[in-house]
Amino acid sequence: MAEKPSVGPRRLSDLDHRERLRAVLRTAAMIGFAWVVLIGVFYIDPVGDRSALRIFLRLGADIALVIAVLAWQTHQIVNDDLPELRAVQGLGIVIPVFLVAFSAIYLSLSHGRASTFSEPLDHTRALYFTISVFSTVGFGDIAPRTDLSRIVVSIQMLLDLVIIGAVVRLLINAAKVGLSRSQDQPSNT
């Protein structure tokens, strides 16, 4: 079977209308699939109350997971044929991993002690609270009430700034590196 010749990295704007539409729809489908799977896993994840030490161990593991997913996505962006779209997809995957990780921690905190937050959290409330903190809206309908929950929420707020600033910048730079590969490759003409 003959190998398809490598075209090399291209900009989204280099594609004709039909190719661009297919690429954008494929990216949107992948992001949607990632969100459905991650949130689905979150909803079926059994919740147990955890000690403060286990919460911090889980927090460390979750942060390591987000960093691993980010590193993998960055590698994928640099090597993709459409690095710009892959950067969008990468962000669309890193964010729900981050949100679900913190939602699971908040849910565990709430199940360990109902007074941890201003109201008991179920899966939906934990996800809602995480998203409202991430988006900096903070409606105030759910609030941390213990020192441990305040520390975890504070960590999320600080990491939100990292996600919004540094991670977006990292993924954009990875797309630029990926696009620069086309300049480094010899022309086939």
Task: Please state the rounded mean pLDDT for residues 43-69.
Answer: 85
Task: Please state the rounded mean pLDDT for residues 4-25.
Answer: 83
Is pLDDT of 4 > 60? no
Read off the tokens for 148.
């441990």
pLDDT for res 49: 63
Radius of gyration of the chain (CA): 20
Report angle CA 90, 91, 95 to the nearest 5 degrees.
120
> Which CATH code for domain 13-182?
1.10.287
Is pLDDT of 2 > 80? no
pLDDT in tens, 154-180: 999 999 998 888 888 888 888 889 888
Domain residue ranges in the chain: 13-182
Is pLDDT of 185 > 70? no
pLDDT in tens, 93-104: 999 999 999 999
Q: Where are the beta strands (DSSP E) in the chain?
A: none
SS3 117: strand
Is pLDDT of 33 > 90? yes
| Torsion angle of the four alpha carbons 100, 110, 154, 98, in this order, in degrees rounded to the nearest 10 | -10
**Considering the entire predicted model, what is its pTM?**
0.83
Between residues 178 and 30, which one has the greater pLDDT? 30
How high does pLDDT run on average in the chain? 87
pLDDT for res 95: 94
Nearest-angstrom CA–CA distance, 153 and 140: 13
Q: What share of the chain in percent tops pLDDT 90?
A: 61
Read off the tokens for 25.
């729809």
Which residue, among 92, 71, 82, has the nearest Cα to 28 in the 3D structure? Answer: 92
Measured distance between the N- and C-terminal CA atoms of the chain, rounded to whole angstroms: 23
168, with CB counted inside 10 A (0-12, 13-18, 19+), is: middle
pLDDT in tens, 112-132: 888 899 999 999 999 999 999
pLDDT for res 118: 94
